[in-house]
Amino acid sequence: MTTENTPLDSPNISTPSPKSNSTLRVFQIIGWVVEGFGALFTLLGLFFKLQSWEGGAEMLIIGMSTLAFFYPFMLWAVVGSRTWLQGLLTVPVGSALFLGLISALFRWESWQGAYEMALVGIMTLLAAGFVSLILTLIRYSKSDNKPFYWHIMVRLVIATLLAAPGIFKAF
């Protein structure tokens, strides 16, 4: 007989630890990596574009397109939605983030229709932000997953700040 303690020797055998959802965790990690690289390419592209260095426009297009096409499909994993209501909320918010980021890309690249895209993007982001704020105020105190609501709001605010200058180009 050995004197080593095994898991069967532990005193809390009757209360097993809850098993974490490893699939959601894998999607979250993949989402954070994709979001991080998209943000990195976007920031580097903006920096290169401001310095008038070659490759800035390409980096900006790669970064913003990655983020824009990523959010409608993977926002639920990145923000950690745990209920069907939270998963349902990520669909319109992801679509609003898509339109907002594409409108910012149109503005930064000075493509034709940038002003119209900026109006559509900012209106969609503001509507999604308003609905998300109302749901956050209602559900925040009742929820055990409070970071979910903060993650949604932070992404909406950042996308709104990126898209907002596009509406002032016409003046």
Task: Domain of residue 91: give its range.
Answer: 22-168
User: How many domains, the chain?
Assistant: 1
Residue 91 is assigned to a structural domain of this protein: yes
80: left (phi over 0), alpha (psi -120 to 50) or beta: left
Residue 10 is assigned to a structural domain of this protein: no
Neighbours of 5 (CB within 10 A): 8
48-89: pLDDT as tens digits: 988 999 999 999 999 999 999 999 988 888 888 877 878 888
Instruction: Judge whether residue 139 has pLDDT over 80.
Output: no
Residue 118 is assigned to a structural domain of this protein: yes
Cα–Cα nearest to 154, from 80, 102, 65, 82: 80
Structure tokens at 163: 């898209």
Q: What whole-number distance in Å separates Cα of residue 84 and Cα of residue 91?
A: 11
Residue 15 is assigned to a structural domain of this protein: no
Residue 11 is assigned to a structural domain of this protein: no
Least confident of 19-33, 43-57, 105-119: 19-33
Q: How far, in Å, are 23, 48, 65, 90 from residue 99 at the CA level? A: 29, 24, 11, 14
Residue 5 is assigned to a structural domain of this protein: no
Residue 3 is assigned to a structural domain of this protein: no
Check residues 30 and 168 and name the one with the higher pLDDT: 30
Residue 156 is assigned to a structural domain of this protein: yes
CA 29 to the chain's CA centroid: 13
Instruction: Judge whether residue 11 has pLDDT over 90.
Output: no
